[in-house]
A and B are shown apart, each in its own frame.
Chain A
């Protein structure tokens, strides 16, 4: 079974530029998550989708970050404009979760973003 795919793996941009990350979850997984992981810290949830609807985006800095999940499958996360403090690894995860049951989240390898 193919895992969660993310691209690109690495990205270097200057502050105030825009960047987009792409995620392809495991086939059939209803729930998709985007996390931000700053060096030396645990991942922090940015947004959670269930199918193509947003369940939780309370930690997403909406003035600069946006995300969508097309047709309940692939997802993109965009930052515009980027700040120095956005330098981090952006992880995508997917899960069969659809409510009320404990499921495992499967993580992609992440995209390492450096903002200079």
Chain B
């Protein structure tokens, strides 16, 4: 079974700071998705990465997929209180339509 490890598990920062969240696996990803989950809501898809070395940007969020396709990172520039939430990486299998989630990183951005 392929497992995902996310780090750190919890992050508390001040508004305006930068941060990076990591997602690692012992085996190669076929494709990886990043989700954000706000309290009382379900996860919402942020991005899908499928190609080794791929970089995608979503406003202040930058997503990287490692060259060997065994790791990914999410970098947030100038964090805002609205970025507060649980960030989840997930392996997606197009063969089965299944997602396997990491344990998540809880981000708290203080004003």
Contact = CB atoms under 8 A, between A and B. Distances in A.
Interface of A: 4, 31, 33, 40-45, 48, 50, 55-56, 91, 93, 95, 97, 99-105, 107-110
B94 A101 contact: yes
A88 to B, nearest CB: 13
A105 B42 CA distance: 11
18 contacts: A31-B97, A40-B103, A41-B104, A45-B99, A48-B97, A48-B98, A55-B96, A91-B42, A91-B43, A97-B97, A99-B97, A102-B48, A102-B92, A103-B97, A104-B45, A105-B99, A107-B43, A108-B42
A75 B88 CA distance: 25
Nearest to B99: A105
A55 B50 CA distance: 24
Contact of B42 (A41, A95, A103, A107): A107
Q: Tell me whether chain A's interface is mostly helix, strand or loop, or mixed.
A: loop
3 shortest interchain CB distances as A-B pairs:
A107-B42, A42-B101, A97-B97
Given A31-B97, A48-B98, A110-B42, A42 B90 contact: yes
Nearest to A43: B101
Contacts of B48: 102, 104
B111 interface: no
Given A44-B101, A91-B42, A109-B40, A102 B31 contact: yes
A50 B98 CA distance: 11
Contacts of A41: 103-104
B2 interface: no
